[in-house]
Structure 1
C-alpha cells in the first residue's frame, strides 16, 4: 500500500513538474500549447469568411496576414481606408487569396448606427460571416484618481459597447445558419489587476463577463465564442492610448529592449485559438503568464504578492520591463 502511494505521489509530482516547465518556458496557456502541437492548424480555416475590426494595424493587421496565408476570405474594417488598402496588398502578396477574397470596409465602430448596414454589406459581398473578430479598441494609461468619468465613458463605449453592438448585429445571422464563431480581443488585463489602467482593465473585465456568458448560452447552438487575451505585445497601441482625460491621447512609444511578444507571434497564436475554437487563450511571455495563473487560481496570494512588490515594479512588469 505504501509503495502504491509512493508511486502515485511521484506520478503527481512529475505531472506538476512538467506543467510548471511548460508554463515557465511557454508563451501561451497550456490548452493553447497543446492545441498548437496536437490540434488543428490555421489552414483548417481555409475558405472561412472572417470579419476583422481594427484591421489596419497591430494584432488585427497581423492576424489578417496569418489568416490570408491560411486561405481565409477576409473583410477588413477600421477607420483608415488607406491603411486597410495597404494591409490588403500585403495579404494578396503573401497569402493564398485573390483580390475578390478580400473586402475593404471602412468602419468607425463608435458610429453604432452604421453597424447594421456594415453587416449587410459583408453579407451581400460574401453571402455569410463565419467568424467575427472584434479587435478594435484602445488601451489606457492613468491612475484611477486622475481619470475623469467622461474618459471612463469613452473607454467603455469603444472597448465594450461597440463590441456588443456589432456582435448583436452579426449573431442573428449565425443563429439562422446554426453555425458561427465570435472572437473578442480581450487582454491579460481582463484576467488580473493591471495598475495605472483602471478604465482599460475594467473594460476588459466587462468583456470577459459578457462574452464568457455568451459562450455558455451558445454551447448547444454550434456557435463558438473565443476570448483572446494577449499580454505585452509590440505594436503602436501606446500611441493612441487613452489617458485620464477625455479626448487626450498618450502618444507613447515602446522601447525595443522591452520584453514583449512580437505582433506576428501573437497573431499566429490567435489564429490557432480560432482554428481550435478555444473558449479562451492567454498569450503572453513570462513573468506575465505566470502572474496570470496566480491571479486565476490563487487570487488572495497574488494580491498579497502585488502589494509587497509595489506599484512601480508591477508597472515595470506590465510594460515588459522585467
Structure 2
C-alpha cells in the first residue's frame, strides 16, 4: 500500500504511538484527521508535521462519550469526503489488582478501549462498505493475547477487541474492507504514566518495561508495514512477544513464569 493521498483518521493522535503514526504518514503524503481528547496537544502535533499542514485536520473527541461518536464520524467523513483507513490508537491502561479496582474504573477502561473503538468503527463501516474499500486498524496489545497481574480490565478490553474484530473480519472479508489487529509489547510511551490506578488516579510512573521498550516511531513503522501488507494480526516488540507462543504451546510453564516476572504494558 502506498499511503500517499490516503485519507487516514487516527485516534489517540496527541501522544505515543498515535502521534508517531501522524508524523510518518504526513511524511508519506497522507491526508490526515487526528483525534484525541486534548485539542491543544493535537494542534501542537499538527504544527510539528513537516509536510502539507493543510492536509492535517484536528477533530477532538472523547472515546468514552459513546453518544457523540456517530456525529464525530460524520464530521470526519465530510472533511475529505471519504476515509480510507481508521487507526484506532486511542486507549488507556491500568495498574491495580482485581479486588482493589473500583467498578467505575473498570467501566471507564472498557468504555474507552473497547466500546470507543467499536462505536467509532461501526459508525465508519457502512460508508466503507458502500465504497467497497477501507481498512480498520485496531491497536491492541500483547496482553490482548494473555493476562497479567495488575491489568485485568485493560487485558480484558484488549481480548474483547480480538474477538469482536476477528468476527467482523469474517463478515466483511469479501466486501473490500480489511481488519488489521496490532499487538505491541513494550513501547516507550507515557502509557504506564497515564494508567489508571485502582481508584482511577493517574499512575504517574513509567514501568521498567516501557522505559526499555522500542520507540514509538519504530512501533509506528512496523504498524504501517503491517497495514501495507494487510496482515490480519501483528506482534510488535522484543522478547516479550514470545509470551504469546509460550502461552499457546506451553500454558502451564507460561503461567508459572508470568507470575514471577515483570509484566508487559
Instruction: Tell me, yes or no, whether TM beats 0.5.
Output: yes
Partner of 2:62: 108
Residues 1:251 and 2:204 are matched in the alignment: yes
Residues 1:170 and 2:124 are matched in the alignment: yes
Q: 1:213 to 1:257 in 2, by over 3 A?
A: closer
State the Cα distance separating 1:80 from its structure 2 match.
1.1
State the Cα distance separating 1:196 from its structure 2 match.
1.6
State the Cα distance separating 1:234 from its structure 2 match.
0.3
Partner of 2:230: 277
State the Cα distance separating 1:150 from its structure 2 match.
2.1
Partner of 2:32: 74
Output one character per residue of 1:131-176: Cα deviation in whole Å (capped at 9) or x when no partner.
0011110010112222222222111111101111111110011011
Residues 1:60 and 2:23 are matched in the alignment: no
How many residues align structurally? Answer: 265
Output one character per residue of 1:164-200: Cα deviation in whole Å (capped at 9) or x when no partner.
1111110011011111110111000001122221111
Residues 1:183 and 2:137 are matched in the alignment: yes
Output one character per residue of 1:240-268: Cα deviation in whole Å (capped at 9) or x when no partner.
211222x3221222459943111110011
Q: 1:264 to 1:187 in 2, by over 3 A?
A: same
Residues 1:232 and 2:186 are matched in the alignment: yes
Counterpart mapping for 1:1-322 below 5 A = 44-91=2-49, 93=50, 97-245=51-199, 247-255=200-208, 258-286=211-239, 288-295=240-247, 297-298=248-249, 301-302=250-251, 304-309=252-257, 311=259, 313-314=260-261, 316-318=262-264
For normalisation by structure 1, the TM-score amounts to 0.78
Q: Is the Cα contact below 8 Å between 2:182 and 2:233 reproduced in 1?
A: yes
Q: Is the Cα contact below 8 Å between 1:189 and 1:204 reproduced in 2?
A: yes
- Of 273-282 and 54-63, more deviation after overlay is shown by 273-282
More helix by share: 1
Ranges in structure 1 where 5+ consecutive residues have no aligned partner:
1-39
Structure with bigger gyration radius: 1
Q: 1:122 to 1:310 in 2, by over 3 A?
A: closer
Q: 1:256 to 1:157 in 2, by over 3 A?
A: closer
Q: Is the Cα contact below 8 Å between 1:234 and 1:254 reproduced in 2?
A: no
Q: 1:89 to 1:257 in 2, by over 3 A?
A: closer
CA separation in 2, counterparts of 1:256 and 1:147?
22
Ranges in structure 2 where 5+ consecutive residues have no aligned partner:
none
Query: Does the residue aligned with 1:164 lie in a helix, a strand or coil?
Result: helix
State the Cα distance separating 1:86 from its structure 2 match.
1.3
More strand by share: 2
CA separation in 2, counterparts of 1:261 and 1:310?
21
State the Cα distance separating 1:237 from its structure 2 match.
0.8
Query: Does the residue aligned with 1:205 lie in a helix, a strand or coil?
Result: helix
Query: Does the residue aligned with 2:231 lie in a helix, a strand or coil?
Result: coil
C-alpha RMSD of the superposition: 1.7
For normalisation by structure 2, the TM-score amounts to 0.94
Q: 1:240 to 1:258 in 2, by over 3 A?
A: closer
